[in-house]
Amino acid sequence: MSDGPLHLLDTNTFSYIANGRSLEARQRMDAVLYTVPLAISTITEAELLFGLARRPQATRLRAVSQELFGVVEILPWDSAAAHAYSKLRLRLTQMGKALSANDTLIAAHALATGAILVTRDTAFAQIDSLETINWATDIG
């Protein structure tokens, strides 16, 4: 049974694990697999499925991704995430800062669920209320 804080993997972290680009991220995921809940947002799922659709020849990547989809919980976008998104986007706009549309949605989903966002993307650091961790420390 998982009892630690929810860890929400962003799209790049999931990709680094699936395509083998970051062995460190895979090892960190494997180390916490049964001690903390692991999830991705449906926004991340959509981005990953789009990437796979663009590369129909990537059968190994598709198989590994499908395996990982079975390991992590896929959190549905819900009203709480929508409310967190509206507040986050307003705050970023007022500060004159921006994230990509999907990154803003993923960050809002992490905030709504109280999750730690597992990401290598330093753009998320501009969100003071968002806790992040980088598992892909072996990528330069």
Nearest to 45 by CA among 85, 82, 87, 8: 8
The reply to whether 33 falls in a domain is yes
pTM: 0.94
The reply to whether 139 falls in a domain is no
Q: What is the CATH number of the domain that holds 121?
A: 3.40.50.1010
Four-residue CA torsion sign, 83, 127, 123, 75: negative
Nearest to 15 by CA among 123, 130, 121, 125: 121
Number of domains in the chain: 1
Task: Please list the helix, strand and coil fractions of the chain in percent, rounded to the nearest 5, in that order.
Answer: 55, 10, 35
The reply to whether 140 falls in a domain is no
Strand bridging mode 73-75 / 132-133: unpaired
Determine the pLDDT at residue 2.
63
- Structural domain boundaries, residue 103: 7-133
Nearest to 69 by CA among 131, 17, 2: 17
Tens of pLDDT, residues 9-48: 999 999 999 999 999 999 999 999 989 999 999 999 999 9
Strand bridging mode 38-41 / 116-118: unpaired
Tens of pLDDT, residues 71-89: 999 999 999 999 999 999 9
The reply to whether 1 falls in a domain is no
